Amino acid sequence: MRYAIIGCGSRHRMFRDALCGTYADRHELVALCDSNPSRLALSAAEAGRPVATWPASGFAQMIADTRPDTVIVATPDHTHAEYVAAALEAGCDVICEKPLATNADELRRILAAQARTGRQVTVTFNYRYSPARTQLREIIAAGTIGRVTAVDFRWHLDRVHGADYFRRWHRQKENSGGLLVHKASHHFDLLNWWLDARPSQVTAASSRAFYTPETAVGLGLAGHGTRCADCRLVEDCDFALVMDDDPNLRRLYREAEAEDGYNRDLCVFDDEIGIEDTFQAQIRFDNGATANYTLYAYAPWEGLEVTFIGTKGELTHRHVEVHGIFGGTRPPGEEEAMTTTLHLAGEPMRAVRIPEGSGDHGGADPLMLEDLFGDGHDDAHGRASDHRAGMWAILTGIAADASALSGGAAVDPASLVPAVHSPGLAMG
């Protein structure tokens, strides 16, 4: 199979390295494409084998000349619809980084292109592939806790990882859809997949409570600069990102600034930030279950907590994550930790042995890459995510954002894209 990648930021490396390494004997990476010449050249140099390079303005010509079977889209979120639709119309299948789109208009464009062409769209929800998350689905599907009636799901982004969304392009909602779309699409997809259901009603509230100019003043950072590279307070700021200290960030972004003016180290306390950092939502599903969901981006720890309440008992999972240093430091001694407990009515609570995984995201990434590029196999867990799964995940976030902006009105996600009532767009 022949592949092309559009978008040469940090995330694309997982796909490039898999195609040029582990799976090079069965696939060919025929082209790399990006709007930034420096990042494009860097990616080609790191590929370890000759790969044609194209500017983003030549995307259509790249497809025509290199004839990829599949295009991998790893560009900023608000450009996904443009490249996904164009690739589909050119006769290619698509692998798209989450989220599939950032708003309902973009989503409709993708759905229309997929319906016209019949080509395949895969959305890379790697969290499905984590052995621990797959185990939760198995336990629920087996009916061990009976019919799931309610879920309590909390996701904690710490002040290292969470802060990073407020210094780069994600900080404007027109670019990312906000954290309810960009980040939480992972979480909403997990809920849909775990419950084998789709959202039918969403109410939500949100606020920008921490990453504000007022917080900067309270931390003694009044008079901070617009970016870390030229801020006089950088030595006093726990949130500072000094890209020159990280060879990877320096090559990918600092040395590429002159090409397009993109600054990766904007101040997380800027007044102009357009996304929120605190969210709570209540989701009703078409199978009758409900979920309370919380996300905040300034937690003292990183990870998730989820409890499934069923007619026979409870299933609880907690994962402390320690990965990704994007500026600032974590407290010494923090380690990855994961627990799952099962408490059935009339029985004592017991720990569930969690299967081990190796590789990034708790062993999820290698399994997803094998699913994408390996020999192919029947996945009893239904982990592969198509355009329908991608659609329902972001519709939850788009509906939650609409509800929050309206003061908490209930929103039916399906009403945002009427075409979803088509049988072909039911949960896959």
The verdict on 20 and 47 lying in the same domain is: yes
Model confidence at 40, in pLDDT bands (50, 70, 90)? very high
The verdict on 254 and 401 lying in the same domain is: no
Residue owning tokens 């079977």: 69
Tell me, yes or no, whether 215 lies in a domain.
Answer: no
Tell me, yes or no, whether 195 lies in a domain.
Answer: yes
Q: What are phi and psi for residue 281, nearest 5 degrees? A: -140, 150
The verdict on 206 and 229 lying in the same domain is: no
Model confidence at 324, in pLDDT bands (50, 70, 90)? low
Q: Indicate the number of domains in the chain.
A: 3
pLDDT in tens, 126-143: 999 999 999 999 999 999
Tell me, yes or no, whether 268 lies in a domain.
Answer: no
The verdict on 199 and 315 lying in the same domain is: yes
CATH code (residue 420): 3.30.360.10
Q: For residue 199, what are the CA distances in angstroms to 81, 305, 319, 396, 420?
A: 22, 20, 25, 7, 12
> At how many degrees (to 10) do helices 131-141 and 360-373 cross?
80
Tell me, yes or no, whether 150 lies in a domain.
Answer: yes
Tell me, yes or no, whether 349 lies in a domain.
Answer: yes
The token pair that represents 215 in the structure block: 């917080």
Q: Which residue range forms the structural domain that includes residue 256?
A: 221-260
Tell me, yes or no, whether 371 lies in a domain.
Answer: no
Predicted local confidence at residue 134, as pLDDT: 95
- Lowest mean pLDDT across 124-138, 372-386, 397-411: 372-386
Mean pLDDT within 227-243? 95
- Identity of residue 331: P
Predicted local confidence at residue 39, as pLDDT: 96
Mean pLDDT within 243-268? 94
Tell me, yes or no, whether 144 lies in a domain.
Answer: yes
The verdict on 230 and 296 lying in the same domain is: no
In angstroms, the CA 289 to CA 12 distance is: 36
In angstroms, the CA 266 to CA 3 distance is: 34
pTM of the model: 0.95
CATH code (residue 10): 3.40.50.720
Domain stop point among 230, 260, 290: 260
The verdict on 247 and 353 lying in the same domain is: no
